[in-house]
């Protein structure tokens, strides 16, 4: 065990000591100080997870009846109920000895953060389960640690939200940014403006009762809920029921494709602001958080320029550019929010000196926007680099720091960087695969937001991520278990071993590759190989690492070379059985060539390794021919790509005598 | 393909013909006659499942805009909206040719039943997906085809209910019997008697809004919802908030253990009936079905005999026995239900000549009670033999007929047998494993309720059950995917191959074995091997069948013998790796001996096969010694049992020269 154990995020300060606190069915929690509802329910959940993971018939059912029980193994001390708001105290200390554990915090938020650490510390040996002796003093580096889920493009049922809130709590995230409206659907019941959800959705929306339920569920776990209503662009779903809010007079339909639509709110009509006052007044009392996110991204002025009234309005108000008009609109909106005691948050396009200084800028287009915003004195949250829908590796996100050490910002500016948010846009996710897009990678992002900035060891991050991922399954998250389910459906069979061998080394295409020339609508199937395949495919990653390490010395490490041969042989031999699977499954036809290429590159890799092993040098022609083939094999088919080509390329180059 | 294809339940009349209707992305549905909301939403779900299973970007998004489109591949004709009530018409015909499919029914209930058949017919070849040409005329054998879920002992979240309703619809079940109150929890919000849910539950209950949502979800799928409020026994959760309803004066607590409690409603107080009038009045308007289930099972008179008032009441009303008093109570309850326009249903203990003749008896204790009830002229539903919580095989349930051909009942009496219900009691199930207890076995039960009584081929049932089980995963059911999740948690690792080899051949103990001397409370972990293991373990069943078939001829079939050796070798060789898994996982300690026994019986089996193969006869002593060992190996450990012992026993006997 290295010095972080299986903890993720790594605590601010931690040191393991000799000794083990044994966990048996007699395990008990006692509380000193306040026993808040959050503490009570948190303890119960902790006991249930402990019991579930160990199979122990843990006796204790509640904590309220064991105050000041000095015999209890876990002694909790807590001074006050935490407020679920920005900058609340989340500090805790956890001291475990062979006899007892002491978890102390000023707030019950700190306590529940510490409970997650306690559960992550659970380990076992041949005598049973234990918590290793340890001293932890822990607090977050950033106060704003978020996950955004877009529930507009594909509606996500409440159970998806709930299990992801549990996942967030497990890795100490504290802001659920709920993207609730966009061109493809308006997802909140509005009693004041009911045509928003009635006509702006396919009847898939959250009732106010359900919203309140989620807010309370999140609050129990120390998570704020920041709703987003994207304006003045991304607003088609508003206009279906209320076309008078739009900048052109037309009939609107909920969008079923993905692009930047020209539709926009009419900022030149006073009625618009009356409507928004009513609507945001209602939402302000529904959502208790201090912040409301108003979007503000990707606004086009196509319609504003065409409407004579808007053109006239601009002129008479001295607004020259599109940006001037957007600023006018968002300032009016800001006044409305302020009237309802809310602060504004928006994507980085809203940055403007006239913004209320409490407004939070969420930078998505690039870090230069974050820098501009903090230089202008605005608090900031970084989303750029954390777009998990773009399916990059955990390592990629992990290395993205909201406030890098080498930053040229001064301390005051750095202090304005509140943290970051992982962003799960939902063009290409259903309730079946959204978890595998969020987890486990978001745990690595959560570590970036919580842990000291010098916690940067990628290999160790991946080691701990595996364990976290396993434990996230306890919370109902489906990132692991739905993988084989997808493969069974694709194959139309339980016999998926060969298909899994392929799926293990492919990934969905990354960044915006799937968006380009996409045939997708909101109705399209999300059950293809690209939807089953997971970002950051572990087997492929491990293989690339193996080849890298194998070539680290000269001559290459023989054990690693043998291991590499075993993998390549598996892939080569896999092909016949895989072909049988594919020819019985029309839904797999689109990856038939890619599957064949895996066998071929495996053969090439084996040929290369054999040359290397026999200390022969491949001819230049051979290297060129194989390289041409690898270039082809690397191309996506069916929107998935083989993730072991680069490693085989390395073998080929080495076989050809390149350093 | 045999003559039933993959259909389950098997239709009343079916004949396959040559020809294939190709399914492409242009696939369209058109409707003639009425286009009801049920038909519209059902079509949309069907299109989504078709698209999901095939990966085809099916163009059509709704059916309302394609009425009378003669080009559409699936022509639906429907005359009226169905009523979701007993005896509604569910007949449909489905005619598929190479060019078109025609689905006709009088009601939209018939249409959605036919849609499920259509989806089950979906097949593929090397040219893609198709529906085989077929002519089906289909209707149910019994009008009452239910699944009961006990949500009291372990509360089941709404998503569990919803996905199981989808599963029910997929196999044409039409009654969701919702067991909503018991000693361990009262699970419905009552606005009239709020202490029922507030004090009678751990805050896990369904709000009236949620109940309405489920009723509507069920109705969309042609499923009735029959609520059960168990009285006058099984009532502890009522008494926590309303102790004055009880037969003794005491403080009540929600039960957290499982047994027959003495607590009972006081039938001698007029206030009891006033309370029940209020409560059932409220429930009668919440639940639209004609029937309310009042339980009535397992009533004890322990408290009735001790209370002088009740003893006096009995005397003054000429009620001699406990049964007389229960009958008095249920007749009063029957009057209350009748006043609120509901018919009474109850477990077989309620049978009494004075019952209103519309009352439905649900027989759970044995078929003799069903016979008595129909002989007494009451309509009946059979639950006995369908208790899926007792974890018997699908075959066992499949062979249980509500109305066997050889029955001595006359036609009028037979007509009183309305059907049956699978019963899922929830002492030992969580939301994580309830699906694996319900599915796929309930599909076999559904076939018993729907298909002609001469559909009894067990092998073919199992063949089709495999496919149905695979398709049930589309609906979010977790019976398959949670299996490995449980194993990962138990092993604390992704490396579960060896553990799976063991788990594949064990089953949880059956009938009431787990109840006897149980340490379980409602808080106990349901994450042990016994909770992961699945009833009717396929690998074990197939192995038993293999050995049976192997010995069908003399000499034993060599191919099958080789296959048997391969399995036994796998289990023998599995042991070393399995031991490594177990010694790292304290939660698996309880099955360490059982795991070792699998390797030992595999070795014994191999020894036996070797003798047989070499035409040698084992000594009597050898047979005896091995038999003694097998007797031990067959005993449950950790509440699971090895399901391949009987097959190895057969090998030993044959090796010893027994016929």
pLDDT in tens, A21-53: 999 999 999 999 999 999 999 999 999 999 999
Residue B215 structure tokens = 């009723």
Give A60 to chain B, closest Cα distance, Å. Answer: 9
Tell me which chain B residues have a C-beta less than 8 angstroms from the C-beta of A474: 489
Tell me which residue of B211, B223, B120 sits closest to B169, measured CA to CA. B223
ipTM above 0.90, yes or no: yes
pLDDT, position A65: 60
Cα four-point dihedral sign B422, B428, B433, B436: negative
Q: Quick one: three-class SS letters along A194-206?
A: CHHHHHCCCCCCE
pLDDT, position A1: 44
Residue A484 structure tokens = 């084989």
Mutate to test the interface with A, among B55, B122, B430 (most CBs of A within 10 A): B55
In the three-class reduction of DSSP (H, G, I as helix; E, B as strand; rest coil), residue B615 is classed as coil
Tell me which residue of B568, B553, B557 sits closest to B605, measured CA to CA. B568
Domain boundaries along the sequence of chain A:
13-138, 144-474, 481-655
CA B644 vs CA A526, B575, B599: distances in Å: 40, 16, 11
What's the half-sphere exposure (Cβ side, CA atoms, 13 Å) at A288? 14
DSSP string, B17-77: EEEEEEE-TT--EEEEE---HHHHHHHHHHHHHHHHHH--------SGGGTT-TT-SEEEE
For residue A54, the chain B residue with the least C-alpha distance is: B587
Mutate to test the interface with B, among A37, A41, A525 (most CBs of B within 10 A): A525
Q: Yes or no: say if A501 and A578 are a contact pair by the CB < 8 Å rule.
A: yes
Q: Is the pLDDT of residue A574 over 80?
A: yes
CB contact under 8 A, A493 and B480: no
Count CB atoms within 10 A of the CB of residue A567: 22
Give B377 to chain A, closest Cα distance, Å. Answer: 46
Residues in chain A: 659
Q: Yes or no: say if B370 and B348 are a contact pair by the CB < 8 Å rule.
A: yes
Name the β-bridge partners of A131.
A21
More confident residue, B83 or A3: B83
| H or E element that contains A413 | helix A411-415
∠ CA A170-A172-A176, nearest 5°, is 95
Average pLDDT over residues A605-634: 96
Residues ≥6 apart with Cβ < 8 Å to A140:
A90, A172, A174, A449, A450
Q: Yes or no: say if A362 and A381 are a contact pair by the CB < 8 Å rule.
A: yes
CB contact under 8 A, B493 and A470: yes
Residues ≥6 apart with Cβ < 8 Å to A315:
none
pLDDT, position B407: 85
Tell me which residue of A424, A638, A632, A659 sits closest to A554, measured CA to CA. A659
CB contact under 8 A, A474 and B489: yes
**Interval A472-513: pLDDT, tens:** 999 999 999 999 999 999 999 999 999 999 999 999 999 999
pLDDT, position B68: 72
Tell me which residue of A332, A222, A229, A334 sits closest to A283, measured CA to CA. A229
Residues ≥6 apart with Cβ < 8 Å to B274:
none
**Interval B340-364: pLDDT, tens:** 999 999 999 999 999 999 999 999 9
**Interval A91-122: pLDDT, tens:** 999 999 999 999 999 999 999 999 999 999 99
Which of B53, B128, B526 shows the shortest C-beta gap to A489?
B53
pTM attached to this predicted model? 0.97
Q: Yes or no: say if A53 and B489 are a contact pair by the CB < 8 Å rule.
A: yes
In the three-class reduction of DSSP (H, G, I as helix; E, B as strand; rest coil), residue A626 is classed as helix
Q: Yes or no: say if A498 and B503 are a contact pair by the CB < 8 Å rule.
A: no
Round the average pLDDT of chain A to a whole number and report it: 96
Tell me which chain A residues have a C-beta less than 8 angstroms from the C-beta of B520: 57
CATH number of A13-138: 3.30.379.10
In the three-class reduction of DSSP (H, G, I as helix; E, B as strand; rest coil), residue B498 is classed as helix
Q: Tell me the percentage of chain A whose pLDDT exceeds 70.
A: 99
In the three-class reduction of DSSP (H, G, I as helix; E, B as strand; rest coil), residue A149 is classed as strand
Count CB atoms within 10 A of the CB of residue A559: 9
Tell me which residue of A382, A202, A224, A229 sits closest to A289, measured CA to CA. A224
Count CB atoms within 10 A of the CB of residue B111: 29
Q: Is the peptide bond before B232 cis (omega within 30 degrees of 0)?
A: yes
Torsions phi, psi of A135, nearest 5? -125, 120
Residue A185 structure tokens = 């659907």
pLDDT, position B301: 87
CA A108 vs CA A36, A77, A82, A151, A222: distances in Å: 7, 9, 6, 30, 9
pLDDT, position B166: 98
**Interval A240-291: pLDDT, tens:** 999 999 999 899 999 999 999 999 999 999 999 999 999 999 999 999 999 9
Residue ranges, chain B, pLDDT below 70: 1-2, 65-67
Q: Quick one: three-class SS letters along B570-589?
A: HHHHHHHHHHHHHHCCHHHH
Was domain B144-474 assigned CATH 3.40.50.850? no
DSSP 8-state class, residue A627: H
Residue B519 structure tokens = 């340490």
Residues ≥6 apart with Cβ < 8 Å to B604:
B626, B629, B630, B648, B651, B652
Give B517 to chain A, closest Cα distance, Å. Answer: 15
C-alpha span between B433 and A149 (Å, rounded) = 28
CA A253 vs CA A452, A625, B66, B450: distances in Å: 48, 53, 19, 43
Round the average pLDDT of chain B to a whole number and report it: 96
C-alpha span between A34 and A106 (Å, rounded) = 10
Q: Yes or no: say if A525 and A489 are a contact pair by the CB < 8 Å rule.
A: no
Tell me which chain B residues have a C-beta less than 8 angstroms from the C-beta of A528: 55
Mutate to test the interface with A, among B20, B209, B525 (most CBs of A within 10 A): B525
In the three-class reduction of DSSP (H, G, I as helix; E, B as strand; rest coil), residue B95 is classed as strand
């Amino acid at each position: 065990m290295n010095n972080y154990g299986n903890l993720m995020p790594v605590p601010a300060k931690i040191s393991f000591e000799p000794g083990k606190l044994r966990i048996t069915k007699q395990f008990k929690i006692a509380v000193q100080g306040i026993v808040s509802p959050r503490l009570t329910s948190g303890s119960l959940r902790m006991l249930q997870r402990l019991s579930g993971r160990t199979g122990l018939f843990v006796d204790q059912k509640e904590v309220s009846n064991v105050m000041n029980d000095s015999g209890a193994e876990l002694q909790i001390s807590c001074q006050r109920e935490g407020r679920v708001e920005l900058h609340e105290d989340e500090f805790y200390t956890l001291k475990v000895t062979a006899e007892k554990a002491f978890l102390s915090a000023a707030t019950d938020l700190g306590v529940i953060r510490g409970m997650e650490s306690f559960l992550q510390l659970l380990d076992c040996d041949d005598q049973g389960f234990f918590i290793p002796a340890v001293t932890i003093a822990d607090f977050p580096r950033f106060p704003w640690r978020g996950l955004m889920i877009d529930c507009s493009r594909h509606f996500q049922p409440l159970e998806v939200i709930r299990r992801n809130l549990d996942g967030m709590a497990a890795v100490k995230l504290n802001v659920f940014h709920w993207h609730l409206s966009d061109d493809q659907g308006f997802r909140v019941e509005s009693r004041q403006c009911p045509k928003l959800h009635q006509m702006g959705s396919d009847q898939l929306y959250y009732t106010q009762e359900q919203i309140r339920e989620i807010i309370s569920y999140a609050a129990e776990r120390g998570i704020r809920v920041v709703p987003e209503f994207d304006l003045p662009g991304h607003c088609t779903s508003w206009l279906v029921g209320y076309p008078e809010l739009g900048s052109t007079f037309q009939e609107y339909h909920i969008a079923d494709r993905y692009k930047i639509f020209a539709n926009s709110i009419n900022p030149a009509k006073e009625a618009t602001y009356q409507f928004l006052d009513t609507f945001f007044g209602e939402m302000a009392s529904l959502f208790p958080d201090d912040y409301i996110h108003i979007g503000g991204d990707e606004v086009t002025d196509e319609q504003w320029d065409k409407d004579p009234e808007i053109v006239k309005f601009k002129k008479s108000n001295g607004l020259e550019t599109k940006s001037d008009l957007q600023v006018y609109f968002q300032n009016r909106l800001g006044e409305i929010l302020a009237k309802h005691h809310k602060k504004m948050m928006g994507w980085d396009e809203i940055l403007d000196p006239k913004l209320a200084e409490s407004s939070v800028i969420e930078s998505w287009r690039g870090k230069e926007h974050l820098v501009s915003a903090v230089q202008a004195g605005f608090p900031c949250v970084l989303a750029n680099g954390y777009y998990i829908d773009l399916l990059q590796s955990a390592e990629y996100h992990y290395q993205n720091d909201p406030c890098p050490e080498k930053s040229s910002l001064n301390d005051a500016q750095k202090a304005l960087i509140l943290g970051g948010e992982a962003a799960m846009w939902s063009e290409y996710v259903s309730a079946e695969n959204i978890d595998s897009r969020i987890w486990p990678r978001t745990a690595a992002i959560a570590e970036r937001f919580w842990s000291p900035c010098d916690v940067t060891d990628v290999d160790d991050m991946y080691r701990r991520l595996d364990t976290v991922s396993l434990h996230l399954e306890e919370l109902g998250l489906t990132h692991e278990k739905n993988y084989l389910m997808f493969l069974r459906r694709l194959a139309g069979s339980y016999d998926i071993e060969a298909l899994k061998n392929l799926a293990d080394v492919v990934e969905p295409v990354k960044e915006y590759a799937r968006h380009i020339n996409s045939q997708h609508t909101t109705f399209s199937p999300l059950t293809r190989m690209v939807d089953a395949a997971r970002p950051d495919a572990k087997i492929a990653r491990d293989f690339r690492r193996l080849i890298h390490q194998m070539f680290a010395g000269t001559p290459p490490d023989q054990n690693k070379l043998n291991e590499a041969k075993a993998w390549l042989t598996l892939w080569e031999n896999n092909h016949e059985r895989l072909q049988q699977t594919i020819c019985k499954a029309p839904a797999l036809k689109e990856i038939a060539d890619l599957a064949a290429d895996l066998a071929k590159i495996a053969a090439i890799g084996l040929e290369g390794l054999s040359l290397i092993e026999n200390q022969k040098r491949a001819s230049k022609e051979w290297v060129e021919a194989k390289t041409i083939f690898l270039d082809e094999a690397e191309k996506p088919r069916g929107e998935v790509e083989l993730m072991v080509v680069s490693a085989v390329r390395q073998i080929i180059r080495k076989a050809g005598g390149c350093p």
